[in-house]
Structure 1
Amino acid sequence: MRTWYKVLFLSLLTLVLVACQGEEAEQKEDANSESGEDLKKVQLFLDWTPNTNHSGIYAAKDQGYFEEEGLDLEIMLPGEVPTEQIVATGKAEFGISFQTQVTQARAENMPVVSIVAIIQQHTGGYYTPTDKGIKTPKDFEGRVYGAYGSELEKSMLQAVMKSEGGDASKVDVVQVGNTDYFIATQRDVDFVNIFYAWTGIEGEVRGADMNFIKTIDYAPELNTYSPVIITNEEMIEQDPETVQAFVTAVLKGYEYAIENPEETADILIAEEPDLNPELVKRSQEWLSPLYQEDAPVWGTQEEKRWVDYAKFMYDENIIEVEVDASAAFTNQFIENAKK
């Protein structure tokens, strides 16, 4: 009898151990699933150093929105190859671009498509030390402009100056590339072109005494979507489910950033500790209300603005062919995400 009890006890113990091992294996499988083994890997190439333009993407990643949609997103820093080219050739599924670059790319037969607008209104403009005495675009005449080096810049400068009766041919244009703007404008450059959400706020943090001339105050036709998120036509045609999942997650991320600027700044700082925390926090506070602004839904784009800007680039001989603006962007994924 005693032997029989021993056998029964050992049998029950074995069953318990097997059950525990099975439960442990199941938990491990679930953990592997949650860690990304069952998620679809996709890449997004940034346009520049991580900054508050990108905050909604980092927020979506931090909050698990991509995982909820079945995606494992890898955020890639830009390199020597333009993001538009990387996305157009399918080397990455998504990228950060601008309406200007997308229009240029479409004119060169690159099949990139803007799927959301990150910011509704163009926040760029011309930045100059106050002691230079430049108050309006007319004052650019006879001054030195620190440019990136594109022909488009000259056309944009003329569009801004003509509203004040100015002549861009009287501006001395020099290339400054990625030079520190604050150092450049204290030397031989009188004004530069910036995005206020980052460089303008950086000036505030530095205590620089600067004057900002907003582009669209003088040239509404230059109110481009800057920046946008792009994919390519093949992704839209052959894998719309992945594009939809990505846009749905990103929408949630930017809605989070709109509602929670302080927390979103902390997320970006944690992911990119080399950034100036004060700059990130002040920039995020300034930018969060502008992501959606007066748009019915964050990310939506107006066809008229794409048409008008494509015409501007064609009329200014920046592009050699007319671009079908309706094919350069789509609202279908952002609309589906809100259904």
Structure 2
Amino acid sequence: MKHSLVAKAIALVGAIAMTIGVAACGQSNDSSSANGLKKVTFMLSWAPDTNHIGVYVAKNKGWFKDQGLDVDIVAVAQAGAEQAVNNGNADFALSNLTNVGMYNLKGAHLKQVLQVQQKPSAIWCALASNTAVKSPKDLDGKTFATFGSNESDAVVRRMIQTDGGKGEFDKVTVGTSTFKTLESGKADFGGFYATWEGVQADMYGPKLNCFTEPDYGVPGNADAIGVITSDKTIKENPDLVKKFTQATQKGYEYAYSHPDDAADILVKEAPEANLEKKFVRKSMQTIVDGQYWGDPAKIKDGSFVLGTNDFVEPQKYFDFLAQEDAYTDSHDKVIHEAPNTKDFATNEFLGK
């Protein structure tokens, strides 16, 4: 899931309520723990889930410690993980290239150093019980449960228009969760993620009728989820960035090849999230089966390195958003030129 700057953001039930207001504890680059390890802060971007799992696995397996790091995983600050990293209140965080691009356009200095998700997982859904919605064109004139971003409006409009509709819809702001907003009848459709809420709906309900972006005219990868840091940290402590990135990369590699064990580690290491083992295992299996983190055969033969930032598919998505006037600067003035992915992502710290 994305940060709430972007509308496909936090649809997970209770995610905001559970995580808001617990901020990182200040800059950690210069501090060391009692055991001589360098203290490092990694900030979640919402409640703990399988998008974060590589960090939990790396910590559990001692791979951060092997690199001389004492990593503290902290809940998202109210201003957001990106803001915390940019301000130096966290060293690293989970985010995605879309958010990094939008924050940097507004004056931030962030960089993604590892991209775990290689294809879109967003799904746009109505309740299955809403028989009036059979395809995106049926969303015309309906009410969208939104978190309020220009990005999601552009995506929904394009999907409806590609399916033959006008792309006109009403909006209501999500309350406690998108599920609850739909079930209350206040909205007809909203955004979820196939690898998390989609699994939740399959296992526990409510049943959903969903549409995916690539099937309805939205180009590129909107969901290039990964690990970010600040340009300042890269400049002042590139060795720290390399150590954290490669240990995290190892964690995601392990999770992709040992999904059940990794799921069990997440449940154990994030007790505050009250995750069910069966649910987290199903989420990881969905990621593996859908090859969301890359083609396992290519990872095995070395032709693809898990964690590699993709500069092509996200750029197609950024160009689409620019065409739709979805970008604004810090003064809310529309920016017509798309940001360049090569300006805010790097593969230089990955292990090969």
TM-score by length of 2: 0.80
Q: How many residues align?
A: 301
Higher helix share: 1
- Tell me how far apart the structure 1 counterparts of residues 60 and 171 of structure 2 sit (CA, whole Å): 43
**1:273-295, CA deviations, whole angstroms, 9 ceiling, x for partnerless residues?**
31233221211221235343237
Which segment is superposed worse, 112-121 or 274-283? 274-283
Which residue of structure 2 lines up, in the alignment, with residue 301 of structure 1? 309
CA-to-aligned-CA distance 1:161-187 (integer Å, 9 cap, x gap): 221122222x12111144251563352
Q: Give the corresponding residue for 1:85.
A: 83
Asked if 1:250 is matched to 2:258, the reply is: no
Aligned equivalent of 2:344: 328
Residue 10 of structure 1 corresponds to which residue in structure 2? none
In structure 2, what is the equivalent of residue 132 of structure 1? 130
Identity %, equivalent residues: 30
How far apart are residue 211 of structure 1 and its match?
1.3
Residue identity matched to 1:281: R
Matches for 1:51-130 after TM superposition, within 5 Å: 51-130=49-128
Distance 1:149 1:222, change over 3 A: farther
Kindly indicate whether residue 284 of structure 2 is the aligned counterpart of residue 278 of structure 1: no
Point out the more displaced range, 171-180 or 139-148: 171-180
Of 180, 189, 192, which aligns to 1:191? 189
Q: Which whole-Å deviations, capped at 9, do the CAs of 1:122-179 have from their partners, x for residues lacking one?
A: 101112212212222111112221111112211111122221122222x121111442
Kept in 2, the 8 Å contact 1:61–1:73? The answer is yes
Name the counterpart of 1:292.
293
- Calculate the aligned-residue CA RMSD, in Å: 1.9
Offset, 1:231: 0.5
Aligned match for 1:315, one of 312, 320, 323: 323
- Change in 2 beyond 3 A, CA 1:152/1:63: same
Where 1:168 maps in the other structure, the secondary structure is: coil
Deviation, 1:219, is: 2.9
Map 1:162-173 to 2 at 5 A: 162-169=161-168, 171-173=169-171
SS in structure 1 opposite 2:195?
A: helix
Structure whose alpha-carbon radius of gyration is higher:
1
Distance 1:70 1:112 in 2: 24
Alpha carbons of structure 1 residues 66 and 292: separation in structure 2 relative to 1, 3 Å: same
Cα distance in 1, alignment partners of residues 37 and 105 from structure 2: 35
Q: Where do 1:132-211 residues align within 5 Å? A: 132-133=130-131, 134-169=133-168, 171-182=169-180, 184-211=182-209
Partner of 1:7: none
Residue 212 of structure 1: SS of its match in structure 2? strand
Separation of aligned partners in 1, 2:109 and 2:188: 38
Offset of 1:220 from its aligned partner?
Answer: 4.1
TM-score, with structure 1 as normaliser: 0.83
- Where do 5+ consecutive residues of structure 2 fail to align? 1-32, 299-303, 328-333
Letter of the structure 1 residue corresponding to residue 317 of structure 2: Y
SS in 1 for 2:42: strand
Give distance in 2, aligned partners of 1:142 and 1:318.
Answer: 21
| Range that drifts further, 224-233 or 255-264 | 224-233
Q: Secondary structure at the residue paired with 2:209? A: strand
Asked whether the equivalents of residues 148 and 177 of structure 1 are also in contact (C-alpha less than 8 Å), the reply is no
Distance change (3 Å), C-alpha of 1:250 and 1:197:
same
**1 CA distance for matches of 2:320 and 2:218?**
11
1:308-333: per-residue Cα shift (whole Å, max 9, x none)? 23323322222234323311111111
Q: Distance between the aligned counterparts of 1:304 and 1:179, measured in 2? A: 33
Matched residues in 1 for 2:175 and 2:93: separation?
A: 22
Deviations 1:16-35 (A, max 9, x none): xxxxxxxxxxxxxxxxxxx9
AA partner of residue 309 (structure 2): Q
Query: How far apart, in 1, do the equivalents of 2:142 and 2:56 lie?
Result: 40
Q: 2: distance between equivalents of 1:324 and 1:122?
A: 19
Is 1:144–1:172's contact at 8 Å kept on the other side of the alignment? Answer: yes
